[in-house]
């Protein structure tokens, strides 16, 4: 098999894996948009906040230590414990639920019946607030996130592909784990929304707020529920991306990678977030591989948006988004 | 009521503005945003050195130093806003720690008559003092760094790089593109093959570039990154099992922040260093006594001795020496911005002086002049020991290849002069 074709296959596989990582971020956007029509600008910051909290809890870091030390003249930094990974993840998930309750009580409740742009602006404010809160609570230094996920080349994939093609493909073990987690996450979300009472209520609210309210579904409960789920999805995305680069404030920028995925897959479809991520991942990697060297490289950021825009020309609602017809 | 309000405002302003006799050296820092992890230790080192001078020596030449801090978030527009907001305080010199902000400030400082000091970053050709009257970038600049990296590789290969493949992995920005011309010129001279691999900011996803490295198997990767790009690149190099001793970052890709997230895998990674590393310098005893133990440390006080803290401290030390020189030349301790510029231009830092300051063998001695605002440009190579979690210097100072660099600096600065109708001085 020609060498270039083998390389293209390797790039495609890695593109699929990168796409899964983008989808993990996009899923959080979709969940909130689907249930409440809010484009949550703070989704990237939620992932950052969740990852910061996870590392802080895991390492027994004292939140607000810098402030406490400045105010009381103490020198506190750590509780002196190391929490097991699963306990730390569970506690972080609880923190995200608490955050969802606070967001509903302090922000969303006061903005019922406001135009979507107002809600969008509120999430911008929320993003800045959470970024600052994360900084004050846990500090701005880079933190190593170690929840036991494997990283580095998959020896199995390398040796199998080497025996078949005479060239060992590179696949990162972390990407393989991310793919498995994304599949489990989507399956769980689908089962939850199809077969549980709360899931059906969530779908009802997504379809029609007024009708859902008229049959006794609590909009406030649904908002707390959906922000909690989005918080959990953000935690998963934060773990995957934070393992890759360390937990630091640039983690919030992963939202930029999710936007073209949403434009392409549609803002209201969970499968759309996955398929959109895969198309963007493969598209940008193959373009960089084949065309990049001819035009100076670094094409991935803009190519993802260009690809999404091309799709929008033909399907303005995205591949799987709901077609909204508004009559005058 | 109005009177009370006016009094309150006046009181607030008197607190915010430095006393008129103080030396004002604003710190355009970034403690928030995606690049905060690099900005915080640098800002802390910068502030702490001036705090040390104030607490131990009563300032510089008897004048207290005020360091009003302004948050840029490594954003060029905010950096310019910070400059405009602080220059009226009587600012003597700026050190914005951003090449993007530097490019925007060069015409402004030239107009306003305030020194811009950009050690190890900014516009390389500002080393030509005949054109860039108000800008100084000693002791080393990007082109020096690129040349030192190649010289080190020459040493490693018995003086011959013919047929070797070197990849430049860089931040796709003005900063990251700086070494390209130098490396191209050096490739023509030494016969190595240069491959350029840009990475878009912020650089969280670099799979394409590292697959390319894996396919093309360069002998060495020279790396010009900043922020999250550094941590991801080092992790990806570990992932593809690239030999870490053949991976060399610029000095902005060589802090503890960059290597710690990759754990043991980062062992052996190298970077350029334009100053010493670690806390084995006498100055740290005073820093502990007068600043840290006195509860006057900047930020959380937990960055003392780190690579970027040392760099911020070094920048503050050079500025304080330039101010000292200015006071000597002007015959007054209350120097103004123009006099401080003269101090920068007449500055000579000898090894004896470095030892007096408490930083023996920390940085290279240099002497500036009307034409030379760039210094000797030498740098060392440091290597990461993951087990001990420390950087170790593996070379002494290596001088750059001025035979290649001088014509490049002359050409670039002449183009700037022509564009901005500047008549070269120092004749």
CATH number, domain with residue A178: 1.10.3470
B34 close to B299: Cβ distance less than 8 angstroms: no
**A104 lies within 8 A of chain B by CB:** no
**B228 lies within 8 A of chain A by CB:** yes
- Judging contacts by C-beta atoms under 8 Å, the chain A residues touching residue B35 are 250
How far does A1 lie from chain B, in Å, by closest CA? 16
**A141 lies within 8 A of chain B by CB:** yes
The model's confidence at residue A328, banded by pLDDT at 50, 70 and 90, is low
The confidence score (pLDDT) of residue B9 equals: 47
Residues 219-258 of A with CB under 8 A from B: 241, 244-246, 248-254, 257
B261 close to B286: Cβ distance less than 8 angstroms: no
CATH 1.10.3720.10 assigned to domain B142-273? The reply is: no
How many angstroms separate the CA atoms of B189 and A18, rounded?
A: 40
Task: Domain count for chain A, please give it.
Answer: 1
Residues A244, B263: C-beta atoms closer than 8 Å = no
The confidence score (pLDDT) of residue A209 equals: 76
Q: Is the peptide bond before B139 cis (omega within 30 degrees of 0)?
A: yes
Residues 37-96 of B with CB under 8 A from A: 37, 40
Question: What are B260's two structure tokens?
Answer: 């710690």
The confidence score (pLDDT) of residue A38 equals: 87
The confidence score (pLDDT) of residue B12 equals: 45
How many angstroms separate the CA atoms of A268 and A279, rounded?
A: 17
Per DSSP, B91 falls in state B
Give the nearest chain B residue to A4 (CA atoms).
B215
Residues A249, B34: C-beta atoms closer than 8 Å = yes
Question: Is A193 a residue whose pLDDT tops 90?
Answer: no
Same fold, B18-140+282-376+407-419 and B142-273: yes
How many angstroms separate the CA atoms of B44 and B41, rounded?
A: 5
How many angstroms separate the CA atoms of A126 and B237, rounded?
A: 36
B95 by Cβ neighbours in 10 Å (0-12 / 13-18 / 19+) ranks as buried
Give residue A45's domain range. Answer: 3-314
The model's confidence at residue A299, banded by pLDDT at 50, 70 and 90, is very high
The confidence score (pLDDT) of residue B360 equals: 96
The model's confidence at residue A77, banded by pLDDT at 50, 70 and 90, is confident
- The shortest CB-CB distance from A140 to any of B31, B199, B202 is to B31
- Judging contacts by C-beta atoms under 8 Å, the chain A residues touching residue B207 are 14, 17-18, 172, 285
pLDDT tens sequence across A21-54: 999 999 999 989 888 888 999 999 999 999 999 9
Torsion from C-alpha of B33, B37, B39, B44, nearest 10 degrees: 130
Give the nearest chain A residue to B177 (CA atoms).
A296
Boundaries of every domain in chain B: 18-140+282-376+407-419, 142-273
- The shortest CB-CB distance from B200 to any of A21, A248, A300 is to A300
Q: What is the pLDDT along chain B (427 residues), one digit of tens a residue?
A: 444 444 444 444 444 455 455 899 999 999 988 899 999 999 999 999 999 999 999 999 999 999 999 999 999 999 999 999 999 999 999 999 999 999 999 999 999 999 999 999 999 999 999 999 999 999 999 999 999 999 999 999 999 999 999 999 999 988 899 999 999 999 999 999 999 999 998 899 999 999 999 999 999 999 999 999 999 999 999 999 999 999 999 999 999 999 999 999 999 999 999 999 888 999 999 999 999 999 899 987 778 999 999 999 999 999 999 999 999 999 999 999 999 999 999 999 999 999 999 999 999 999 999 999 999 999 999 999 999 999 999 999 999 999 999 999 999 999 999 999 999 999 7
State mean pLDDT over A124-142.
92
Superfamily of the domain at B18-140+282-376+407-419: Response regulator (3.40.50.2300)
Angstrom CA distances, B43 to B26, B33, B171, stand at 11, 14, 22
- Pairing relation of β-strands B165-171 and B220-224? parallel
3-state DSSP call for residue A176?
helix
CB pairs under 8 A between A and B: 113
The model's confidence at residue A114, banded by pLDDT at 50, 70 and 90, is confident
Residues B32, A297: C-beta atoms closer than 8 Å = no
Residues A257, B205: C-beta atoms closer than 8 Å = yes
The confidence score (pLDDT) of residue B1 equals: 42
Closest C-alpha among B120, B160, B128 to residue B378: B120
Give the bridge partners for B392, in sequence order: B383
How many angstroms separate the CA atoms of B366 and B350, rounded?
A: 7
The model's confidence at residue A147, banded by pLDDT at 50, 70 and 90, is very high
Please name the residue ranges forming H helices in chain A. Answer: 3-36, 43-58, 65-72, 85-106, 116-138, 155-165, 173-195, 197-207, 209-214, 219-245, 255-265, 270-290, 300-314
**B241 lies within 8 A of chain A by CB:** yes
The confidence score (pLDDT) of residue B209 equals: 96
Residues A285, B238: C-beta atoms closer than 8 Å = no
How far does A154 lie from chain B, in Å, by closest CA? 9
State mean pLDDT over A111-129.
91
Residues 12-51 of A with CB under 8 A from B: 14, 17-18, 21
Give the bridge partners for B249, in sequence order: B223, B271
Q: In what order do the strands lie in the sheet with B220-224?
A: B193-199, B165-171, B220-224, B247-249, B270-273, B380-385, B390-393
Q: How many residues does chain B have?
A: 427
The confidence score (pLDDT) of residue A172 equals: 96
Give the bridge partners for B165, in sequence order: B193
**A193 lies within 8 A of chain B by CB:** no
Closest C-alpha among A145, A165, A168, A146 to residue A157: A168
The confidence score (pLDDT) of residue B7 equals: 47
Angstrom CA distances, A149 to A223, A248, B351, stand at 32, 18, 49
**Tokens 């405002």, located at residue:** B9
- Judging contacts by C-beta atoms under 8 Å, the chain B residues touching residue A69 are 300
The confidence score (pLDDT) of residue A311 equals: 87
Could you tell me if residue A129 is inside a domain? yes
Could you tell me if residue A328 is inside a domain? no
How many angstroms separate the CA atoms of B125 and B137, rounded?
A: 9
B337 close to B115: Cβ distance less than 8 angstroms: yes
- Judging contacts by C-beta atoms under 8 Å, the chain B residues touching residue A252 are 34
């Amino acid at each position: 098999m020609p060498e270039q074709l083998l390389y293209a296959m390797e790039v495609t596989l890695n593109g699929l894996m990168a796409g899964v990582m983008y989808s993990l971020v996009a899923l959080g956007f979709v969940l909130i948009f689907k249930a409440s029509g809010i484009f949550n600008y703070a989704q990237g910051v939620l992932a950052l906040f969740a990852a910061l909290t996870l590392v802080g809890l895991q390492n027994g870091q004292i939140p607000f230590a810098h402030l406490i030390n400045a105010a009381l003249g103490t020198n506190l930094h750590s509780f002196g414990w190391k929490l097991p990974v699963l306990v730390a993840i569970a506690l972080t998930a609880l923190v995200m639920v608490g955050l969802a309750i606070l967001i509903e009580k302090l922000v969303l409740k006061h903005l019922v019946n406001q135009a979507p742009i107002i809600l969008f602006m509120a999430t911008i404010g929320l993003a800045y607030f959470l970024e600052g809160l994360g900084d004050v609570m846990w500090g701005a230094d880079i933190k190593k996130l170690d929840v036991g996920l494997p990283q580095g080349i998959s020896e199995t994939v390398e040796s199998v592909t080497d025996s078949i093609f005479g060239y060992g493909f590179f696949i990162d073990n972390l990407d393989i784990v991310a793919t498995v987690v994304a599949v489990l996450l989507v399956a769980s979300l689908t089962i939850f929304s199809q077969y549980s009472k709360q899931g059906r209520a969530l779908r009802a609210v997504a379809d029609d707020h007024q009708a859902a309210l008229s049959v006794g579904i609590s909009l406030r409960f649904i908002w707390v529920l959906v922000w909690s789920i989005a918080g959990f999805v953000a935690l998963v995305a934060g773990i995957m991306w934070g393992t890759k680069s360390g937990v630091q404030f640039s983690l919030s920028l992963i939202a930029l990678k999710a936007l073209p995925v949403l434009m392409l897959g549609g803002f209201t479809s969970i499968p759309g977030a996955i398929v959109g991520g895969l198309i963007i991942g493969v598209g940008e990697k193959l373009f960089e591989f084949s065309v990049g060297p001819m035009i100076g490289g670094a094409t991935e950021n803009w190519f993802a948006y260009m690809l999404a825009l091309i799709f929008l020309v033909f399907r303005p609602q995205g591949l799987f988004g709901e077609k909204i017809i508004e009559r005058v | 009521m109005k009177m009370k309000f006016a009094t309150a405002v006046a009181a607030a302003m008197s607190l915010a503005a430095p006393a008129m006799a103080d030396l004002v050296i604003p710190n355009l820092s970034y403690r928030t945003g995606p690049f905060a992890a690099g900005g915080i230790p640098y800002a802390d080192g910068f502030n702490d050195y001036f705090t040390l001078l104030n607490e131990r020596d009563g300032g510089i030449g008897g004048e207290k130093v005020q360091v009003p801090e302004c948050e840029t978030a490594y954003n060029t527009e905010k950096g310019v806003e910070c400059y405009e907001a602080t220059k009226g305080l009587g600012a003597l010199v700026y050190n914005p720690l951003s090449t993007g902000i530097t490019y925007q400030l060069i015409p402004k400082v030239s107009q306003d008559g305030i020194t811009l000091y950009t050690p190890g970053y900014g516009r390389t050709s500002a080393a030509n003092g005949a054109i860039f009257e108000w800008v100084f970038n000693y002791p080393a600049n990007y082109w020096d760094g690129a040349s030192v990296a190649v010289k080190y590789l020459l040493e490693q290969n018995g003086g011959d790089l013919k047929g070797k493949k070197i990849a430049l992995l860089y931040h796709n920005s003005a900063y990251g593109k700086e070494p390209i011309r130098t490396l191209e010129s050096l490739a023509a001279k030494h016969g190595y093959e240069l491959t350029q691999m840009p990475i878009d900011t912020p650089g969280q996803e670099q799979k394409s570039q590292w697959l390319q490295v894996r396919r093309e198997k360069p002998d060495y990767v020279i790396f010009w990154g900043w922020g999250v790009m550094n941590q991801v690149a080092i992790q990806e190099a570990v992932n593809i099992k690239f030999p870490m001793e053949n991976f060399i970052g610029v000095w902005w890709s060589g802090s503890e922040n960059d290597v710690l997230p990759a754990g043991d895998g980062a062992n052996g990674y190298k970077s350029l260093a334009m100053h010493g590393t670690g806390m084995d310098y006498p100055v740290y005893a005073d820093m502990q006594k007068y600043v840290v133990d006195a509860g006057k440390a900047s930020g959380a006080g937990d960055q003392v001795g780190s690579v970027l803290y040392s760099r911020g401290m070094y920048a503050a030390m050079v500025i304080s020496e330039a101010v000292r020189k200015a006071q000597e030349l002007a015959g007054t301790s209350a120097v103004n911005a123009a006099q401080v510029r003269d101090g920068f231009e007449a500055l000579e830092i000898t090894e004896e002086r470095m030892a007096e300051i408490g930083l023996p063998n920390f940085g290279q001695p240099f002497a500036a002049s009307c034409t030379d605002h760039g210094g000797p440009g030498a740098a060392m190579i440091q290597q990461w020991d993951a087990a001990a979690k420390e950087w170790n210097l593996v070379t002494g100072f290596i001088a750059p290849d001025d035979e290649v660099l001088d014509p490049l600096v002359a050409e670039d600065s002449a183009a700037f002069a022509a564009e901005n109708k500047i008549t070269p001085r120092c004749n």
